[in-house]
Chain A
Amino acid sequence: MRRTSSSIANLTWVCAVALIACGAQSSSRKGLSWIASSAAAADAAPSNPYASLAKLPDWNGVWDVTRVPPQPGAPPPAPPKLTPRYEEQWVKYQALNRKQKGLNFVSEVASCIPPGVPQSMTEPYPIEFLFTPGRVTILIETYALTRRIYTDGSPLPKNPDPSYQGTSVGHWEGETLVVETSGILPETSPLNGINGHSDKLHITERIHLINPDTLEISTTRTDSAVFLEPYTTKAYYKRHRDWKIMEYVCEQNNHDALDAKGNAAFSLKHNPGE
C-alpha cells in the first residue's frame, strides 16, 4: 500500500516535470527572449562607479605645504606684471618686506574671514584629497575649508555665484589633475601682497606628484584687471601618511582681528571675541 502511494507520488512528479517541460517548449521563443533580455540588462547596468578610481594616482595621506622648492637651485619665480592700481599695492608690500622682518601682508583673514582660492591652498596647515566618482574634494585644515572639484565632465558654469573657494571643475591628464576655477569673491587676495581682484579672476591649477611623497601645484592666475599677463607660481607639498587633519575654528580664540582702520592689531583680552 505504501509502495503504491509512493509510486503514484513519483508518477505525479514525472507528469508535473513533463508538463512544465512541454509548457516551456511551447512558449520557448518567448521564454528565451526573456532570458536574453535579462542578460542584456545586466550588461547595460552601470558597473560600480568606484571601480573607476582604481586608475587614479595615490594621493592618500595629508599634504603639508613647504616653503621652498624641493630642487635646490630651481629658478625662482619672476615677480608679477601688474596693472598700475595693483602695482602700487605690490610696491608698498615689497618696501615693507625690506624694512621689517616677519610677515607683512595684512588682509581680512586675520579677522577670521577665510582666504579664497588660490591663497587657501598655501595656508600653513595641511590639506588632503578625497577621490569619489566624478569628483575630487580638497579639505583644507586652515579655516576648515572644502573645495568641490567636479570631474564628471560638467562644464564650468558661465556666471557662478561668487564664493570664497569659487566654482571648480577638473579633468585628469594622465596623472595630473587640471582644475579650472572661477566665481571667486573679488575681495579676496589672489597673491601675497595683493588684496582684491575682479570678478573675472580665473585660476588654473595643475596638480601632480613629482616624486612619491612630493606634490607640485602649479597655479596660474588670469585677471586682466590685476595681471598684465597670466601669473604662475608653484607650491610644493610633503606627504605625511600618519597625520590627521585637525579641527580649526578661527573664532575660538582669535586675538588678531584687524582694527577699525583695517590695520594689524592684537587684543590682550582673555576673551577677545566678546
Chain B
Amino acid sequence: MKLRHSLISVVCTATLLLMKSAAAHHSTAMFQWGTEKTLIGTIEKYQWTQPHTFIWIVVPDKPGKTQEWGLEGMSPSWLGRRGWNLHSLNPGDKVSVVYYPLKDGRQGGFYVRVMAPDGKTLEALPTQAP
C-alpha cells in the first residue's frame, strides 16, 4: 500500500513536471481554471497582441444596460499557428464565448473557445489540459 502510494506520487510528480505552460508566461492562479462559463454578446475589440490576445466583449445586463468583459487568451504565437488570425473576431460580431472566470468575481477571465457568427467553433486552448 505504501509502495503503491509512493508510486502514485512519483507518477503525479513526474506528470506535473512534464506539464508545461499552455497559458504561456504566467500562472493561472487568478482563474477558476477548468470551470467553463459562457458569455453571449458583441465583440467590442479583439487585440491580436503579445503576450496574450484579448477579447473585449459587451454583454446584456439589466434592461437598457450592458456590461463589458475582458477575456485573456493564448498568444498570437499559439493561435496563429492553429487557424486563428487578427480578423478571426471583429467589432460587432455576435459571439458565444466559453471562458474560465476570475476567482475574484470581476468581469474577466481566460477564453477557451468561441462560437463565431458563421457557426464555426474556434478552439483556443490545447485539448490536453494544461
**A residues lining the B interface (CB < 8 Å):** 65, 67-69, 76-79, 94, 96-98, 100-107, 109-110, 112, 122-126, 141-143, 192, 233, 240, 243, 246-250, 252-256, 263-266, 268, 270
A236 CB to nearest B CB, Å? 10
Taking the complex as formed, is B54 at the interface, i.e. its CB lies under 8 A from any CB of chain A? yes
B92 CB to nearest A CB, Å? 18
Taking the complex as formed, is B52 at the interface, i.e. its CB lies under 8 A from any CB of chain A? yes
A268 and B18 contact, CB distance less than 8 A: no
Q: How large is the interface on B (under 10, 10 to 19, 20 to 34, 35 or more residues)?
A: 35 or more
Contact with A along B91-114 (1 / 0, CB 8 A): 000000000001000111000000
Chain A residues within 8 Å of B22, by CB: 103, 124
- The distance in angstroms between the C-alpha atoms of A44 and B22, with both chains bound, is 54
- The distance in angstroms between the C-alpha atoms of A115 and B77, with both chains bound, is 17
Chain B residues within 8 Å of A192, by CB: 16-17
**Besides A125-B75, A249-B50, A250-B25, 6 other A-B contacts (C-beta < 8 A):** A79-B10, A103-B26, A110-B27, A252-B51, A256-B51, A263-B29
Taking the complex as formed, is B78 at the interface, i.e. its CB lies under 8 A from any CB of chain A? yes
Chain B residues within 8 Å of A126, by CB: 77
Partner of A94, one of B16, B70, B102: B16
Partner of B77, one of A107, A233, A248, A270: A248
Given contacts A94-B13, A97-B16, contact A246 B80 (CB under 8 A): yes
Chain A residues within 8 Å of B33, by CB: 100-103
A104 and B29 contact, CB distance less than 8 A: yes
Chain A residues within 8 Å of B78, by CB: 124-125
B27 and A104 contact, CB distance less than 8 A: yes
Partner of B24, one of A124, A240, A249: A124
Q: Which of B14, B24, B26, B49 has the most CB of A within 10 A?
A: B26
Which chain B residue lies CB-closest to A125?
B77
A142 and B81 contact, CB distance less than 8 A: no
Contact with A along B58-88 (1 / 0, CB 8 A): 0000000000001010011110110000000
Which chain B residue lies CB-closest to A111?
B26
Q: Can you list 24 A-B contacts (CB < 8 A)?
A: A67-B18, A76-B13, A78-B10, A79-B13, A98-B12, A101-B33, A101-B129, A102-B27, A102-B31, A106-B26, A110-B25, A110-B26, A124-B22, A125-B78, A142-B51, A142-B77, A192-B16, A248-B51, A250-B50, A254-B51, A256-B25, A256-B51, A256-B52, A256-B72
Given contacts A67-B20, A253-B51, contact A266 B130 (CB under 8 A): no
- The distance in angstroms between the C-alpha atoms of A212 and B57, with both chains bound, is 45
Given contacts A253-B47, A255-B52, A256-B52, contact A103 B21 (CB under 8 A): yes
Chain A residues within 8 Å of B70, by CB: 255, 268
- The distance in angstroms between the C-alpha atoms of A28 and B106, with both chains bound, is 95
Chain B residues within 8 Å of A104, by CB: 27-29
A273 CB to nearest B CB, Å? 11
Which chain A residue lies CB-closest to B75?
A125
- The distance in angstroms between the C-alpha atoms of A141 and B81, with both chains bound, is 13
Contact with A along B1-24 (1 / 0, CB 8 A): 000000000111111111111111
Chain A residues within 8 Å of B80, by CB: 246
B18 and A68 contact, CB distance less than 8 A: yes
B23 and A102 contact, CB distance less than 8 A: yes
Q: Which of A107, A233, A270 has the most CB of B within 10 A?
A: A270
Given contacts A125-B75, A255-B54, contact A102 B10 (CB under 8 A): no
Contact with A along B27-45 (1 / 0, CB 8 A): 1111101100000000000
Chain A residues within 8 Å of B13, by CB: 76, 79, 94
- The distance in angstroms between the C-alpha atoms of A106 and B106, with both chains bound, is 21
